[in-house]
A and B are shown apart, each in its own frame.
Chain A
Amino acid sequence: DTGVSQNPRHKITKRGQNVTFRCDPISEHNRLYWYRQTLGQGPEFLTYFQNEAQLEKSRLLSDRFSAERPKGSFSTLEIQRTEQGDSAMYLCASSTRPYGYTFGSGTRLTVV
């Protein structure tokens, strides 16, 4: 068990490009979460999966954002037509019960 793995660690992209991030949760965890952390702020909830079902989405998740969790294993977060305001750390977490969150190290996105 190597914990929650996120790739890539860093991503620099030009405005208007699409980017995709991947999260591999702890294998026995059925719940997976995405959070976004901007500079000087605490992480903010984006979306939540239980197995392959996306059960909740934040209003922060605009139409340009889409998340998937095929087969209830790894998850991807795609941002289309990136904007400078999308620059942030994107954190993934997994759990198997309400309190047992494990966070990954995050993907830092810079939009230039």
Chain B
Amino acid sequence: AQSVTQLDSHVSVSEGTPVLLRCNYSSSYSPSLFWYVQHPNKGLQLLLKYTSAATLVKGINGFEAEFKKSETSFHLTKPSAHMSDAAEYFCVLRREYGNKLVFGAGTILRVKS
């Protein structure tokens, strides 16, 4: 079965410092992977997606993620956190058949001033 595990339920960083949100996946095939962000009372917004092209994927708002097959990881990074980055982030895998998305449990990012 395909699944994703977000290794941290909460991450706290200071403004201007790097962000690392960790995600491991389990899949018997080469998956499509995504990161979504959810701000309070807002819909889920796509940050970036990996679809078997370049392993380093650049997204919106300065975020990027690297697909590492050997480590079955897809960690999300940003060089410098901004207060507006505070939100919940979801690592997501698209199932091989059909269009179902499988979400991780989420990581809440807190940015301290």
Q: A: which residues have CB within 8 A of B?
A: 3-4, 31, 33, 35, 40-45, 48, 55-56, 91, 93, 95, 98-99, 101-106
Contact = CB atoms under 8 A, between A and B. Distances in A.
Nearest to A47: B100
Given A35-B101, A99-B51, 4 more contacts: A45-B100, A45-B102, A98-B99, A103-B36
User: Interface size bucket, B side?
Assistant: 20 to 34
Contacts, number: 55
A31 B99 CA distance: 9
Consensus secondary structure, chain B interface:
strand
A91 B99 contact: no
A101 B46 contact: yes
A43 B99 contact: no
Nearest to B45: A103
